[in-house]
Structure 1
Amino acid sequence: MASLNVYSVLVVLFLTCGAVMAMKENDQIIKENNCETKMGLPYVLEAFTSIFKTGSISNKCCDELVVLGKVCHSALVKRTLENPIFNDLNPTTIIAKSIQTWNNCLALIDSPSPST
C-alpha cells in the first residue's frame, strides 16, 4: 500500500513539474520574441475576444496577428490558458479556435486582393 502512495506522489510531482516547465517555456518564448510589444492593445483585445469568447476578427487585426507571428500567437494563447481565471474553459476548444483564427488570418493576408 505504501508503494501505491509513493507512486501517486511521484505522478503528481511529475505532472506539476511538467506544468511549471511549460509555463516557464511560454514565458521565455514571449520574452525572447518581445511578443507583448508587437501588437497594439485594441488588436490584442479583438483577437482575444475572437478566440476566448465569440466574435469576428477584422482584416487589420489579422494583419497585426500575422506580423506578431505564429510562435508568439501560440505562446500567448497557451499562457492565457494557464491563468486560473480561465479554468472553466476547455483548452482543446480554445487551441482549436486559436489555430482556426491563425489559419483564417493567414489565408486572408496571403490571398491577393481583387482588382478594382
Structure 2
Amino acid sequence: MATKENDQTIKENNCETKMGLPCVLEAFPTIFKPGSISNNCCGELVVLGKVFHSAVVKRTLENLLFNELNPATIIARSIQTGNNSLVLIDSPSRSA
C-alpha cells in the first residue's frame, strides 16, 4: 500500500520530469553513502521539494534490494542531503 502511495505522489507531482538523469545519478547516492552534490544538482533537488524527496526515499526503502539498509540512517542522510542543498543554493556566495 505504501509503495502505491509513494508512486502516486511522484506521479501527481510530475517528479520524473523535474530532475535530469545526471543529477539523479549524482544526488541519489549521497542518501546512501557520504558524498557531495554540485550547485546545479542541488538546485534541481530543491525544485523537486521535500514531498518528492521523501516519496523516493520511502519507495527505495520498500524495495527488497535495499532491505539491509537501516531506515533511520537513510532518512537522516536524506534530510541532511536536502538541507545541505538548501543551504548551498541560498548561500550569497553561490557560484552558478
Given the two structures, how large is their TM-score scaled by the length of structure 1?
0.76
Alignment match, 1:37: 17
**Cα deviation, residue 69, structure 1:** 1.2
- The answer as to 2:17 corresponding to 1:25 is no
Deviations 1:34-88 (A, max 9, x none): 1111100111011111112332111111011011111111111111111110001
Comparing both structures, which one devotes a greater share of its residues to helix? 1
Runs of at least 5 residues in structure 2 that lack an aligned partner in the other structure: none
Structure 2 counterpart SS, 1:69? helix
- The answer as to 2:58 corresponding to 1:78 is yes
| Residue identity opposite 1:109 in structure 2 | I
1:90 to 47, 60, 70: 70
* Seq. identity, %: 79
**Cα deviation, residue 113, structure 1:** 2.1
1 or 2 for the larger relative contact order (CA 8 Å, sep ≥6)? 2
Rg comparison, structure with higher value: 1
Q: Distance in 1 between matches of 2:93 and 2:51?
A: 26
Alignment match, 2:36: 56
Structure 1 residue ranges, 4+ long, deviating more than 2 angstroms after superposition: none
| Residue identity opposite 2:56 in structure 1 | L
Question: How large is the Cα RMSD of the aligned pairs?
Answer: 1.2
Q: How many residues align structurally?
A: 94
